[in-house]
Amino acid sequence: MSAAPLLEVTGLSKSFTARGGLFAGSRNSITVLEEIGFSVYPGESLGIVGGSGSGKTTLGRSILQLIRPGHGQVLYKGRDLCALSEGEMRGQRRFVQLIFQDPYASLNPQMTVGRAILEAMQVHGVGADDRDRKKQILALLERVDLSAEHFGRYPHQFSGGQRQRIVIARTMALGPELVICDESVSALDVSVQAQVLNLLNDLKDEYGLTYLFISHDLNVVRYFCDRIMVLDKGRIAEIGPSPTVYADPQAEATKRLLAAIPGRSV
């Protein structure tokens, strides 16, 4: 944290307009994020936790500009992503990647694993040519504990844990610096969760990655992250080092999340 932040979020807010009330034409504004501000440092893993409706997924997508925030700034290496055009933002997404919750929905069922990774590399201009790209893909498949023979197989031929490894390989193929994991292990069995978390940790050390790890599970976040930020109703309830937040929670929202962990009392 002595280095300059890789990501700085300041005053980030987002509201949605919804129809409702007694009259068909009436509209209600729902605030999902309100004046969110924090920094993430190179090589850090920051956990973002909160219950359903806390705004954590909206925050992750707002950082990536998949959802445009109402106001505020998202500075990545000093550049405000909110001020970029769609074309300029596409160029940045190679370096700021998202791993989704559902590995089943993250892959095109009609496209082989190798083709799915190759296409992403082609779009972002990674690799000298397709021969070079395939060589990199085969090495990445081995790195995520799959094998070269999986290159020509389709997503339905893999388990959930294997599919998430494929998604991770596709992410790593682009050479990202910041990876946003949105509930990336919540759809997996507990034993598979641990394997994928260990893989992500190993890749962090090997490639110098920085993670934003979004989850509803404070126990998982404590294991994986250096710091924890707790969201509640679109606001930051608490932020601090993982051991401190877990052992001595200050916010009621944090205490509720801890109380939901089996065998854990607050």
> Within a domain: residue 156?
yes
Q: How confident is the model at residue 105 (pLDDT cuts 50, 70, 90)?
A: confident
Q: How confident is the model at residue 200 (pLDDT cuts 50, 70, 90)?
A: very high
The pLDDT tens digits of the residues spanning 125-175 come to: 999 999 999 999 999 999 999 999 999 999 999 999 999 999 999 999 999
Q: Which two tokens stand for residue 43?
A: 């090589």
> Within a domain: residue 166?
yes
> Within a domain: residue 186?
no
> Within a domain: residue 157?
yes
> Within a domain: residue 78?
no
What is the domain range of residue 155? 110-171
pLDDT at 103 over 90: no
Average of per-residue pLDDT across 120-126: 95
pLDDT at 186 over 70: yes
pLDDT of residue 98: 93
Q: How confident is the model at residue 21 (pLDDT cuts 50, 70, 90)?
A: low
pTM: 0.92
Q: How confident is the model at residue 265 (pLDDT cuts 50, 70, 90)?
A: low
pLDDT at 20 over 80: no
> In total, how many domains does the chain have?
1
> Within a domain: residue 263?
no
> Within a domain: residue 119?
yes
> Within a domain: residue 89?
no
